[in-house]
Chain A
């Protein structure tokens, strides 16, 4: 559906994007994850045709967009990071205008507008001026405006920036609906939870380069520790973490305030070994749980920096 090959974009001495490649199939959701300034928006802008790459190419259904008016652009819907709405117009009038940009008018436009408003649950506010909307409502309308021409590929550039958790959840539900309808979503974010929840594949970008491109499970496999077994001991007296390091599957052990954290490469095989060892050595416990490392950990492992603090 969408193929991105070796996109590169420089501004003077600054290389914003350096050889970014990925592909997205029909119905697939690809997350472009990276810190602010990583090159996500520049990449999306090149995919949408807003920026001309210095090198590389973007193929939509195997073809390059040839001109500003190439009908291939109808395949793409863009949800810009900045709110792209006219505050002084009503929600419906905004959508009438954006539909007209794709030559939609009359009944065809009305049908598309009603469907988009229905999807983002703003039908009851259609006649209200956008200036009176909350940030979350504007974000939903911003999404609706990109759907009017029924694009197959939706480019979503941080569509939840600055919205409350409730509105964010509403947008996620909208996107999940679109995903069920078979749309291809390219979703940029620096929120790992969003990528974890929505995306089939995650492309991690840092300093303009792709540093990982895999499914969530695949990314976890890049880690030396894929699961953490957390055991709350009755008494920690006499237990030395070093004693456990020789056990099979155990990659790391830490004991702090009566809680034992054991890093395992494989939870299903490692957990019984650890628990049996504790029983055999007389260490009783009252609570056992497991934690899966998140994308933050993945990013930390790959770059040595935390995702949200990266510059």
Chain B
């Protein structure tokens, strides 16, 4: 036991002895986690997001197009500005605008006809920046709603709409392709619209308030964030501190592996191997010390997040501790595996950094996994960091119970076993000669 404790103590002393490195190792993830936490919602989960810049080219100049632009400008998610086609194209190309909407000539008139007849639908041009696909979806959704409301309102109550209704009645009467039964129904429909408009005119003339007209979206949304409790707001820092903790602890594990590779090339390794120490003790002590360091980093990060950003463990504290312990063990085993399969220090560092960044990225430590394509989300199941993030999210802001930590813990222990077996099987015990 004396040698084992001495080996662990020595590793911890070496780690803590370099105080500048320790500080940097803690400050950098804290700064990054604070930044990402702010971006992803901050303490109340409602951080202000920037509006999507959209340009509008009005080639129609009708009341409908004017109303449509006003409707778009009123949306809290859009920053709408008028432009010309060439200027808009250049702005989108340079990334200064996410999208540009081109309202063609006669859009108002054609849209009105198309609303009733379905014929000759006008085309709204949308120029977009391909690097903003997510925002494009949002812009198209808002545009659809605005067009429906604006056009239908104009058709039912506007001056243009009345003219179009009169024209449509005439078209219905003269269209030989319409059956007599359909003609009768359409005549009644358009006649009702005309009568409604006349009633509105009479009401306006007598000083009564104007009736609202047109189609509106038949629903409103009531948004409610589902968190661990009724009055508990989502804290974006909980995820970001977990994510950055996972990333930097993995890097620490990588350092453990690289340090072991370097050690193998030194006289210290020869001295250790010359002593009557088992291989289990040499690797085991390194696993324990790396796990303790990983646990320390997580403790500091979450303590900082608790004090400064109010991040709380809303789920099971035991589950949180167990998730942290399992992840720490897994990181240590990862480090040993790096040392076991690594070649030269330089080459191993490059490959291991790449592997670490992949694990961090696919595990959802940087951005949530739901933005990934579906196949990638399925692939993330085999990424150990994904389980660490699931466990940490579950025990912090999601407020889940210990039972929800069991699967992530089990998966991480499974990966620990896998990494450990590879490390033991592939470790080159003989000194480099």
Contact = CB atoms under 8 A, between A and B. Distances in A.
Contact of A69 (B271, B274, B277, B433): B277
B431 interface: yes
Interface string A9-46: 10100001000000000000000000000000110010
A310 interface: no
Interface stretch (A95-103, A219-227, A269-277, A294-302): A95-103
B2 A83 contact: no
Interface in A28-74: 41-42, 45, 48-52, 68-71, 73-74
B431 A50 contact: yes
Contacts of B273: 48-50, 68
Interface stretch (B59-67, B262-270, B376-384): B262-270
Contacts of A142: 267
B284 to A, nearest CB: 13
A202 to B, nearest CB: 23
A104 B5 CA distance: 12
B278 A78 contact: no
Interface string B3-31: 10111001001100110000000000000
Q: How large is the interface on A (under 10, 10 to 19, 20 to 34, 35 or more residues)?
A: 35 or more
A144 interface: no
A78 B10 contact: no
A83 B266 CA distance: 8
B14 A88 contact: yes
Given A50-B430, A68-B278, A105 B2 contact: yes
A84 B3 contact: no
Interface of B, secondary structure class, is helix
B431 A45 contact: yes
Nearest to A70: B276
Given A84-B271, A97-B10, A101-B272, A41 B433 contact: yes
A157 to B, nearest CB: 8
Contact of A48 (B3, B14, B274, B278): B274
Contacts of A103: 2-3
23 contacts: A16-B433, A41-B433, A48-B273, A49-B274, A50-B270, A50-B274, A50-B430, A68-B276, A68-B277, A69-B276, A78-B270, A78-B271, A84-B268, A84-B271, A85-B268, A88-B14, A88-B18, A89-B13, A98-B271, A100-B5, A103-B3, A145-B271, A146-B271
Interface of B: 2-3, 5-7, 10, 13-14, 17-18, 266-268, 270-279, 430-431, 433
- A-B CB proximity, top 6 nearest: A80-B267, A84-B267, A100-B6, A82-B267, A101-B275, A78-B274
Interface of A: 9, 11, 16, 41-42, 45, 48-52, 68-71, 73-74, 76-78, 80-86, 88-89, 96-98, 100-105, 142, 145-146
